[in-house]
């Protein structure tokens, strides 16, 4: 026919190998399961990382907002005179809401010595995940102002 029998048998052998390879060209069930498991683990890890990132972002945002609100409240208190601060101390700890009930602030004033008071603002809030968080701002208030704080013995 087309050539010597040796050539025909090698062509037939090559075509048999191609046919056998074509039948086995797909993935086995084990390979598909391993690939699926790796893919699922990658997706779960990415989602968990995103959730932690959003939680950290929410905590940082709330801490910044609480710090700014407490600093603003502290500056308002610093404008008061000694007798007004004493009157606030006599009234007891104050509890009020800031920024539409998002933050609950507690103000407490105590004597450190005769002419020195410690003012503590404590802000509490809940993160987007419902966990309670808080921040505290502490300052000292001298009867004679900052000069009393810096230049007297404590």
Give tens-digit pLDDT for 28-86. Answer: 999 999 999 999 999 999 999 999 999 999 999 999 999 998 998 888 888 888 899 99
State percent of the chain over pLDDT 70: 77
Q: Can you give the residue range of the structural domain that contains 48?
A: 5-151
Task: Give the total number of structural domains in the chain.
Answer: 1
pLDDT in tens, 109-119: 999 888 889 99
The reported pTM is 0.65
- Residue 85: CB partners within 8 Å, gap ≥ 6? 77, 109, 117, 119, 141
Main-chain phi, psi angles of 141, to 5 degrees: -125, 115
Strand order in the sheet with 103-113: 94-98, 103-113, 116-126, 132-142
**Integer angstrom CA distances of residue 114 from 34, 64, 86, 124, 152:** 74, 34, 12, 30, 12
Burial of residue 59 (CB within 10 Å: 0-12, 13-18, 19+) is middle
């Amino acid at each position: 026919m087309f050539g010597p029998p040796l050539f025909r048998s090698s062509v037939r052998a090559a075509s048999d190998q191609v046919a056998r390879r074509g039948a086995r060209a797909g993935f086995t069930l084990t390979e598909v399961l391993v690939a699926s498991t790796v893919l699922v683990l990658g997706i779960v890890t990415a989602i968990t990382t995103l959730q932690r990132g959003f939680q950290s972002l929410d905590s940082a945002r709330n801490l910044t907002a609480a710090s700014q609100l407490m600093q603003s409240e502290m500056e308002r208190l610093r404008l008061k005179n000694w007798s007004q601060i004493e009157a606030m101390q006599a009234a007891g700890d104050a509890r009020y809401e800031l920024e539409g009930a998002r933050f609950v602030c507690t103000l407490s004033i105590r004597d450190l010595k005769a002419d020195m008071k410690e003012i503590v603002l404590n802000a509490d809030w809940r993160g987007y995940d419902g966990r309670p968080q808080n921040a505290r701002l502490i300052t000292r208030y001298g009867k004679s102002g900052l000069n009393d704080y810096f230049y007297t013995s404590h």
